[in-house]
A and B are shown apart, each in its own frame.
Chain A
Amino acid sequence: MSGASELLSIRTLRWSNLVGRKLMLKRTMTAALLVALVITAGSASAQCVMGAYADAAGTESVTAPFENQLFDIFVILRDEAAVEGVSYKVTFPTGVFATQSWYGPNEAGFPFLTPNGIIVGFGECAIGFGGFDIQVAHYAAIATVNTIMNEYVTLEANIDENPLNVEYATCSGNIIECLNVQPLLISHVIANESKSFGAVKSLY
């Protein structure tokens, strides 16, 4: 073998080693990513959405209630799962209160208050497969002030259960974290004066 061809073969060997190492690294990274995905897939659901809405169908994310009049807030869960319970915390803006609440898909669930949130046991399997909405809670709320502007009814993790995310229990006994949580925007509160003024005016 000549000196030049020897040099070439050494370079080729080094190159192929480098390519091999890079390929190996790529494969290792891919494998690690896959493992990470498999691990997280068991406890978190990316497609899960839990939101607070102004209607039972879960379509209205903005509301403008009348002052001192009851209005509805629904907590809806959407995921491809059979669900038996949900753990979360709901927070209302200052001046908004829940006067009454019902829990579970048929408003007959079991609310279990913990120091920092609530766990709702449905007592049944609620089917979310096929895009069905699962009603978690229904609050009859009231806004006692009309100064509220662009404030949110928020859903968060019940830190007594899970410090990071809202979670639900499947009917097969698994706990799934819901990563996508939607608040309800209260754009403003309609003052009572205009309504009562109208009422008074209509008397004349």
Chain B
Amino acid sequence: MTKKRLMSLAVASLMVLGMTGLAMAGIPDPNNSTASSPSGCVEIAMDGNGKSLAAAGLTVSVTVVDLNGDPVVGYPFQDVWLGDNTGGTQIQLCNGGSFATGNTNAAGFTTITGSIAGGGTTTSGMQVYLAGVPLNGPALLLDASSPDLIDAAGNPGSDLIVGNLDLTAVPGGFANLFLNGVYDVVGDFNCDTVENILEVTRFAELFLNNVTCP
């Protein structure tokens, strides 16, 4: 009797586990899904006019799989994006500011190649998000730079507009970054490894025209 009950319990447990597995099949898993990219610097701006990832040679490859490690096929491109590695505290994206080139294919694979519309900077690496959930793998070796350097509270971050604080804040503001004589990737808005007149023209473009997300 006891044996029979134990057997029934075991079978029931297996069924529950199996059903769970079945239920999780096709659902992207942030632990098993992976992303990779070359290392480099990504231009970000609210107008989305920065160099695209592909043009910068920084195409991000993403493989979306479920709990069982099976590819998630046809996962929507809008739900795959590139953000910071700190849960959105350093970079803010405009609505639809980053997305994959297409739905995942039969291998669960897609890429992110476009330019990024948003603000903020990071030197902590970047991460791929699936419907807002960051992958659990190591951060991609990508820095990000934009003229939107300071958040509304005056701290390094983003408020999705380039204003006076972005110019004057010390130490994170543009004037300080530009004039301190030390190269800093976050002040190199076009990621060309020098801070020069092109940073000023880019800053002016966003600052004078109050550019914000579309």
Question: Which residues of A are interface residues toward B (Cβ below 8 A)?
Answer: 84-87, 108-110, 112, 114-115, 119-124, 161, 167-169, 173, 175
Contact = CB atoms under 8 A, between A and B. Distances in A.
Given A110-B203, A114-B179, A173-B190, A119 B208 contact: no
B208 A175 contact: no
A121 B179 contact: no
Given A114-B179, A173-B190, A119 B197 contact: yes
Interface residues of B, number: 16
Contacts of A175: 196-198
Question: Which 7 residue pairs spanning A and B have beta carbons closest together?
Answer: A121-B204, A123-B208, A110-B204, A85-B201, A84-B201, A123-B204, A119-B200
Given A115-B179, A123-B209, A161 B204 contact: no
A115 B175 CA distance: 11
A115 B178 CA distance: 11
Given A108-B208, A169-B198, A175-B197, 10 more contacts: A85-B201, A110-B200, A110-B207, A112-B203, A112-B204, A121-B207, A123-B209, A161-B197, A169-B201, A173-B198
A6 to B, nearest CB: 65
A121 B196 contact: no
A22 to B, nearest CB: 44
B197 A122 contact: no
A155 to B, nearest CB: 15
B200 A85 contact: yes
A124 B207 CA distance: 11
Interface in B160-208: 175, 178-179, 190, 196-198, 200-205, 207-208
B207 A123 contact: yes
Contacts of B204: 84-85, 109-110, 112, 121-123
Contacts of B178: 112, 114
Contacts of A114: 178-179
Contacts of B197: 85-87, 119, 161, 167-169, 175
Contact of B200 (A112, A115, A173): A112
A115 B180 CA distance: 11
B122 to A, nearest CB: 23
24 contacts: A85-B200, A85-B204, A86-B197, A87-B197, A110-B203, A110-B204, A110-B208, A112-B200, A114-B179, A119-B200, A121-B200, A121-B202, A121-B203, A121-B204, A121-B205, A121-B207, A123-B204, A123-B205, A124-B205, A124-B209, A168-B197, A169-B200, A173-B198, A175-B197
A122 B201 CA distance: 7
Contacts of B208: 108-110, 121, 123-124
Contacts of B179: 114-115
A110 B175 CA distance: 12
Most-contacted residue by chain A among B178, B198, B202 (CB, 10 A): B198
Nearest to A85: B201
B149 to A, nearest CB: 15
Nearest to B194: A175
Interface string B89-101: 0000000000000
A110 B207 CA distance: 9
Contacts of A123: 204-205, 207-209
Interface in B55-85: none
Contacts of A167: 197
Contacts of B209: 123-124
A64 B115 CA distance: 53
A122 B202 CA distance: 9
Given A109-B208, A123-B209, A173-B190, A161 B196 contact: yes
Nearest to A86: B197
Contacts of B207: 110, 121, 123
